[in-house]
């Protein structure tokens, strides 16, 4: 290990790994600092990676199930089935293998990595920064031009440099089971106040097993734990027979930070992925948006690293290139709020009764994309009169926001 690099990245998750590779490709020296002694453990993830994100890393060998469709259940049991067989919508991957492979790509492109290590101090000077690291061989200091925080939802870097907070933190809870029955190549989504208030629960096939989870915001939980919501789905809901033969083999709980923080870049510091609040408000997906954020920022950051111009002003200008992502997150959140989060179960039933109409399901299949629901949302708000009334609150934000 040297004592000087262009960039120190805190956190060797998928976003830190991808960022390191992209910086290497532009000729910068990088060291990744990871607090755990292995990559990809522990993880909290349903493991869905969209085709666009998969194309960026070409890791098809980590795919456990290819998913073409979704069965979306209303609280009372109306099912809307979307998707077309053989048109791949998303991939369910093994996160451990995926994270390892992404980080391995960065090492192959020249990054170094320090495991079982974490930052204990960081100081910013005019021309450089110094990061204090506590690792297996004790304390050490690394000099660099830029510190990147890719250290997840509870980011140390974000807190250390007071870079703001994600707009929302949604709580995800998930178990992995054997014995769940679903249509091959499809995932199930369940809605309703008793199982996932304001959001949805899921059952996602992952090879031999299925990941069953629920997510919601703390302020909507009313003192009920995520575990109880999942129990309500599996033991007491209308759909309980689907879970009869399930045997739990693992459980995970974690936050989903969504809504880009106020200062994702400051003098000689930048946040990426969960640390920056990059997750999608509609699906909770963080890997695709995290890769996209890296692709947006790296070309500009690279030039600034080469010029060693990472001043407050320079970083402010680079930060503006995230404005479109910020706006997109806001519009998606508005759409989610209108169609899901702000609905009670009765209103949800009304929405499902419209979605289940053949011409609306056809529209969903033609225009629908869970990764990018805005075009579908706009078409539905324009073409389905019932939605104009139900989603009035969102029209302004979605159409002109
Ligand atoms: C229940 C649940 C389901 C989800 N499902 C999906 C899904 O299906 N698809 C999807 O795209 N996203 C999903 N997400 C979100 C996804 O898991 C995250 O967006 C993604 O892991 C973010 O990657 P990251 O590299 O930014 O952060 P992380 O994956 O959290 O990686 C951060 C890394 O930094 C390390 N680290 C943290 N602090 C320090 C420190 N101080 N020093 C050194 N190292 C540190 C950690 O050990 C870790 O290795 C889900 C989240 C939850 C909670």
50 inside domain? no
pLDDT score for 127: 95
Given a cut of 70, whether residue 63 has pLDDT beyond it is: yes
Arithmetic mean of pLDDT, 226-249: 96
For the Cβ of 149 lying below 6 angstroms from any atom of ligand 1, the answer is no
The number of folded domains in the chain is 3
Contacting residues for 400 by C-beta, under 8 A, at least 6 apart: none
Ligand 1 atom with the smallest distance to the CA of 155 is 38
Atom of ligand 1 nearest to the CA of 257: 19
* Judgement on whether residues 122 and 270 belong to the same structural domain of the protein: yes
pLDDT above 70: residue 228: yes
Asked if the model's pLDDT at residue 46 lies above 90, the reply is no
Is 363 found in the same domain as 285?
no
For residue 394, the model assigns a pLDDT of 55
Read off the pLDDT of each residue in 113-120 and give the average, rounded to a whole number. 98
Query: Mean pLDDT throughout 16-40?
Result: 97
Residues 148 and 105 reside in one and the same domain: yes
Pick from 46, 121, 211 the residue to mutate for probing ligand 1's pocket: most ligand atoms within 8 Å of its CB. 46
CATH of residue 109's domain is 3.50.50.60
243 shares a domain with 176: yes
Whether residue 152 has its Cβ less than 6 Å from ligand 1:
yes
Note the pLDDT of residue 357: 85
Strand order in the sheet with 118-124: 118-124, 129-135, 138-144
Q: Is there a domain that residue 124 lies in?
A: yes
Question: What's the pLDDT band for 334 if we cut at 50, 70, 90?
Answer: confident
Q: Which sign does the torsion angle of CA 12, 251, 217, 65 carry?
A: positive
Note whether 258 and 166 are within 8 A (CB). Answer: yes
CB of 13 shorter than 6 A to ligand 1: yes
pLDDT of residue 369: 67
Does ligand 1 come within 6 angstroms of the Cβ of 12?
yes
Last residue of a domain, one of 310, 343, 376: 310
Q: Is the CB of 15 under 6 A from ligand 1?
A: yes
Residue 395 has pLDDT above 80, yes or no: no
Determine the pLDDT at residue 362: 82
Whether 363 and 376 have beta carbons less than 8 Å apart is answered as: yes
Which pLDDT value is given to residue 389?
A: 65
Whose Cα sits closest to atom 18 in ligand 1? Answer: 286
User: Each residue of 149-203: pLDDT tens digit?
Assistant: 999 999 999 999 999 999 999 999 999 999 998 888 999 999 999 999 999 999 9
Q: How far is the CA of 40 from the centre of ligand 1 (A)?
A: 9
Q: What confidence tier does 400 reach under pLDDT thresholds 50, 70, 90?
A: very low
For residues 105 and 57, is the Cβ–Cβ distance under 8 A?
yes
- Residue 273 inside a domain? The answer is yes
Q: Are residues 240 and 384 in the same domain?
A: no
Cα 400 to averaged position of ligand 1 atoms, centre (Å): 32
Q: Can you tell me the mean pLDDT for 243-253?
A: 93
The answer to whether residues 27 and 157 belong to one domain is yes
172/124 same-domain check: no
pLDDT at position 244 over 90: yes
Arithmetic mean of pLDDT, 214-237: 95
Answer yes or no: is pLDDT of 27 > 90: yes
Ligand 1 pocket check for 165: Cβ under 6 Å: no
Atom of ligand 1 nearest to the CA of 275: 26
Across all residues in the chain, what is the average pLDDT? 91
My answer on whether 161 and 239 are in the same domain is no
Q: Residue 399 has what pLDDT? A: 46
Task: Say yes or no: 356 and 384 in one domain.
Answer: yes
Per-residue pLDDT at 146 exceeds 70: yes
Contact of 255 with 172, CB cutoff 8 Å: yes
Q: Which two tokens stand for residue 115?
A: 């495991």
Range of the domain at 158: 7-44+95-166+261-310
Residues 126 and 136 in one domain: yes
Residue 53 in domain? no
102-113 burial, b if ≥16 CB within 10 A, otherwise e?
A: bbebbbeeebeb
């Amino acid at each position: 290990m040297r004592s000087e690099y262009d960039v120190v990245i805190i956190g060797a998750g998928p976003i830190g790994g991808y960022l390191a590779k992209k910086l290497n490709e532009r000729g910068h020296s990088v060291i990744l600092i990871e607090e755990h002694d292995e990559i990809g453990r522990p993880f909290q993830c349903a493991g869905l990676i969209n085709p666009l994100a998969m194309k960026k890393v070409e890791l098809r060998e980590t795919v456990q199930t290819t998913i073409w469709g979704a069965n979306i259940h209303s609280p009372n049991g109306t099912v809307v089935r979307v998707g077309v067989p053989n048109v791949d919508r998303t991939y369910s991957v093994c996160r451990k293998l995926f994270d390892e492979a992404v980080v391995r790509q960065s090492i192959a492109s020249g990054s170094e990595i320090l495991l079982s290590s974490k930052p204990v101090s960081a100081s910013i000077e005019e021309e450089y920064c110094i990061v204090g690291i506590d690792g297996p061989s004790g304390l050490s200091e690394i000099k660099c031009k830029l510190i990147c925080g890719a250290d997840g939802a509870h980011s140390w870097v974000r807190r250390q440099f007071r870079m703001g907070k994600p707009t929302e933190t949604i709580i995800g809870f998930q178990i992995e089971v054997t014995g769940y029955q679903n249509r091959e190549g499809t995932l199930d989504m369940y809605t309703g106040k008793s199982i996932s208030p304001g959001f949805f629960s899921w059952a996602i096939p992952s090879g031999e097993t299925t990941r069953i989870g629920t997510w919601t915001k703390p302020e909507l939980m009313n003192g009920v734990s995520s575990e109880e919501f999942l129990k309500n789905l599996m033991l007491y809901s209308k759909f309980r027979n689907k879970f009869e033969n399930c045997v739990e083999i693992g459980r995970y709980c974690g936050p989903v930070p969504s809504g880009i923080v106020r200062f994702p870049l400051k003098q000689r510091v930048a946040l990426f992925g969960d640390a920056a609040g990059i997750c999608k408000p509609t699906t909770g997906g963080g890997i695709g948006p995290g890769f996209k954020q890296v692709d947006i920022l790296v070309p500009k950051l690279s030039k600034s690293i080469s010029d060693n111009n990472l001043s407050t002003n320079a970083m402010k200008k680079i930060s503006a290139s995230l404005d479109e992502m910020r706006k997109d997150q806001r519009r998606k959140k508005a759409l989610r709020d209108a169609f899901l989060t702000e609905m009670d179960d009765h209103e949800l039933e009304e929405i499902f009764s419209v979605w289940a109409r053949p011409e609306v399901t056809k529209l969903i299949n033609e225009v629908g994309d869970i990764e990018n629901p805005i075009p579908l949302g706009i078409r539905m708000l324009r073409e389905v009169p019932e939605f104009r009334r139900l989603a009035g609150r969102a029209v302004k934000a979605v159409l002109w926001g």
